[in-house]
Structure 1
Amino acid sequence: MTFSPAACPRLVVKVGSSLLVDPAGEIRRDWLASLVADIAERTRAGQQIAVVSSGAIALGARRLKLAKGGRASLEDAQAAAATGQIALAGTWAGLLHEQGLTAAQMLLTLDDLEDRRRYLNAAATLDRLLRLNVVPIINENDSVATEEIRFGDNDRLAARVAGAAMAQGVILLSDVDGLYTANPATDPAATLIPRVETIAAIEGMADGSSRSGMGSGGMLAKVEAARIATAAGAHLAIAGGHGLNPLQRFADSGHGTVFVAPASAPARKAWLRGGLTARGAIHIDAGAVEALRAGKSLLPAGAQRIDGRFARGDLVLLVAPDGSHVARGLTEYGDADAALVIGRRSDELGDLLGYAPRSALVHRNHMALL
């Protein structure tokens, strides 16, 4: 199956800074107007579209005359984001209004999509806006985000938004037109990879450079975004955004790289699988790995050691003996009690803990295999 943007009832479109903002720090208004025209045409045809838009820091840095594009320090980036976001949102809202569409603004931090309750609140807001035919304009809330609570790039934010919005597709409009066998800027023999069925097959091909110097992602971030989106059941495409009407051009040509999603997982499993942060890790033995892959819960007997500080209900990684990540899940024990019971049989737990134990360290209903 070839990913077609027109075939997705819900679509997330991510716009990179280098496409939206010119080197002088001004919005490329004609280009953006053409993208908005594409969005309007699709919306009138019944498609629901959310936009993840970069550009706030680049815009704000010019207005504040900040060095290094506003990225010389966290404080500069926060000030630039606060200043640029209002200009960015105003431009989007004005151009959408000209097409008869209403815009909404959502600013999110990593915690908003990693905390289950806040994730559900964000998902409910997105769903209502899209059902009202509003176009949400989404960005990371860089004016308050710190290194500990930020995505760091809008590619991964777009992928997480796709899961929250229950979108079937994501398009990353970029200054590169897809994933290549090598860096096309340095290797003339590099060829475009049009379709990726499994991300493991192409790991190592991407690098972390951003061609324009304006963005914060690079191809590594895009591959990680593809991992998150496909885990939530959404296809993801990387497509070149240069030139007018980029959505229509991609729909017509199909030129880019499409990461194909498997059958979608239940929403809770998709949230677990797509998570970016974990409070700790539980290292498990080979027998436990087989049991998890057979659909069973993680019992204390299969655990070998724990890392990190976590409470009951926190998200933890389950790690195989070779160091690979087997699953993510919500732990039934805090780290102190987990340390007491690892490697122990179920009939020993009550005496060790002094209270009636829970049967699993991580229950299968609160776990997603990776």
Structure 2
Amino acid sequence: MSEIIVIKIGTSSLTRADSGNLALSTIASLVETLTSLRQKGYQVILVSSGAVGVGCARLNIIDRPKNINLKQAIAAVGQGRLIRVYDDLFNNLGQPIAQILLTRRDLMDRSCYVNANNTFNALLDLGVIPIVNENDTVATEELKFGDNDTLSALVASLVKADWLFLLTDVDKLYSADPRIVPSAVPIDLVNSQEFSQLQVEVTNSGSGWGTGGMVTKLRAARIASSAGVTTVITNGKNPDNIPRILAGESIGTKFTAQPKTENARKRWIANGLVTMGKIYLDDGAVKALCTKGKSLLAAGITKIEGEFSASEAVDLVNQEGQEIGKGIANYSHDELEKIKGQKSFDISTILGYYGVETVIHRDNLVIFE
């Protein structure tokens, strides 16, 4: 089976900083590289930013809009122009493409998640390169991916990709922003188990037009790595680095992947769902979940945070405040406030009606490595 590659390119790489216009030479180089990879047998997905930036340039708007309704309208203008440029360039090389616009809601619903996966697989089987962007025109603020780094990692998890390339405006990850801290040290390799010890000073601010900085790329690398995807941060102005990296050259920063899980439902819980609250656990519950593969019972719960309904996702937190997992709750926050710390056989007496024994069944539970 051929390898699946997801490439994310940011606004800072796609556009010229002085004008906001498309950097056509970079896009042309990217198109040539991706077409060549496709011809060599790789299955390729492109996650492309740039719709808002292109829309602003087309409408002669100097500053990136803050108002969400205005931004959505401008994105609608820019997305059409952006996909036309891609289609023209890919068509010249005989490579068919498809446009896919996603919102976070599309991945939160299990049936939509499965349908999205089926659509991607069908397009890849047809030899098409899907071009993905967030559907800014309809996405609501609370259900936005927030940045295309996160979107690309979730797409990579969805399709069980082998590689995720995050193309940005720096050559690799540094211990701090090299534009501000001259003594910043480059980081070439990050093993999946080293994430928690990674010492990097990052900020949320990227370029003037982009929405993410290095912090969003680290978040994306963590998501992708946990889903079994090898992730690389490298310079977007040199798309020809991608085949060189695939050939084994050490370019950019590489994040090694954890072993792939074949459980699609677990991947959906881990990466598709947005958590609505937190459940804090005692040490006994943490041990039962992490080392014994047990379900979560009410007796091990010490505190509840947030407001959530039954069947919504929650984070699981240990006594040190570390998130150890994520799952789909069988009870609402109000119900859990009443039954936390209690024995399972007392639940029906406390609530006044029969409820399931488990707060989160192990089949609806993901433990982070």
Give the shorter-chain TM-score range. Answer: over 0.9
Give me the whole-angstrom Cα distance separating, in 2, the residues matched to 1:60 and 1:249. Answer: 33
Counterpart amino acid of residue 256 in structure 1: G
Give me the whole-angstrom Cα distance separating, in 1, the residues matched to 2:258 and 2:70. Answer: 41
Alpha-carbon shift at residue 140 of structure 1 (Å): 0.8
Change (3 A) 1:244 1:292: closer
Give the equivalent residue in structure 1 for 2:278: 281
Alpha-carbon shift at residue 30 of structure 1 (Å): 2.2
Give me the whole-angstrom Cα distance separating, in 1, the residues matched to 2:227 and 2:92. Answer: 34
Change (3 A) 1:347 1:225: same
Tell whether 2:26 aligns with 1:31. Answer: yes
Give the equivalent residue in structure 1 for 2:328: 330
Alpha-carbon shift at residue 244 of structure 1 (Å): 6.0
Which of 13, 17, 21 matches 2:15? 21
Give the equivalent residue in structure 1 for 2:301: 303
Give me the whole-angstrom Cα distance separating, in 2, the residues matched to 1:145 and 1:152. Answer: 10
Give me the whole-angstrom Cα distance separating, in 1, the residues matched to 2:316 and 2:37. Answer: 42
The C-alpha deviation readout for 1:154-198, integer Å capped at 9, x for no partner, is 111100010111111100011011111222112222221111112
Contact in 2 for aligned 1:231/1:273 (Cα 8 Å): no
Counterpart amino acid of residue 117 in structure 1: S
The aligned runs of 1:166-245 (5 Å cut-off) are 166-197=160-191, 198-210=194-206, 212-243=207-238, 245=240
What's the secondary structure of 1:356's corresponding residue? coil
What's the secondary structure of 1:361's corresponding residue? strand
What's the secondary structure of 1:49's corresponding residue? strand
Q: Percent identity?
A: 38
Change (3 A) 1:267 1:343: same
Which of 269, 272, 277 matches 2:269? 272
Change (3 A) 1:246 1:17: farther
Bigger drift between 224-233 and 340-349 goes to 340-349
Contact in 1 for aligned 2:107/2:273 (Cα 8 Å): no
Q: TM-score, normalised by structure 2?
A: 0.93
Q: Unpaired runs of 5+ in structure 2?
A: none
Give the equivalent residue in structure 1 for 2:104: 110
Counterpart amino acid of residue 159 in structure 1: A
Give me the whole-angstrom Cα distance separating, in 1, the residues matched to 2:367 and 2:239. Answer: 41
Counterpart amino acid of residue 100 in structure 1: G
Counterpart amino acid of residue 91 in structure 2: H
Give me the whole-angstrom Cα distance separating, in 2, the residues matched to 1:249 and 1:55. Answer: 26
Aligned residues: 362
Contact in 2 for aligned 1:8/1:169 (Cα 8 Å): no
Alpha-carbon shift at residue 275 of structure 1 (Å): 4.5
The aligned runs of 1:31-180 (5 Å cut-off) are 31-69=26-64, 71-180=65-174
Change (3 A) 1:94 1:246: farther
Aligned Cα RMSD in Å? 1.8
Alpha-carbon shift at residue 31 of structure 1 (Å): 1.9
Change (3 A) 1:236 1:243: closer
Give the equivalent residue in structure 2 for 1:4: none
Alpha-carbon shift at residue 60 of structure 1 (Å): 0.4
The aligned runs of 1:253-268 (5 Å cut-off) are 253-265=249-261, 266-268=263-265
The C-alpha deviation readout for 1:92-148, integer Å capped at 9, x for no partner, is 112111111111001111222233232222112111111111110000111222321
What's the secondary structure of 1:327's corresponding residue? strand
Counterpart amino acid of residue 304 in structure 2: I
Change (3 A) 1:276 1:205: farther
Which of 349, 356, 361 matches 2:359? 361
Contact in 2 for aligned 1:114/1:275 (Cα 8 Å): yes
What's the secondary structure of 1:365's corresponding residue? helix
Give me the whole-angstrom Cα distance separating, in 2, the residues matched to 1:193 and 1:123. Answer: 33
Contact in 1 for aligned 2:76/2:137 (Cα 8 Å): yes
Alpha-carbon shift at residue 246 of structure 1 (Å): 4.2
Q: TM-score, normalised by structure 1?
A: 0.93
Alpha-carbon shift at residue 8 of structure 1 (Å): 7.0
The C-alpha deviation readout for 1:17-67, integer Å capped at 9, x for no partner, is 111111323222222112111111111111100000011111100111223
Give me the whole-angstrom Cα distance separating, in 2, the residues matched to 1:246 and 1:130. Answer: 23
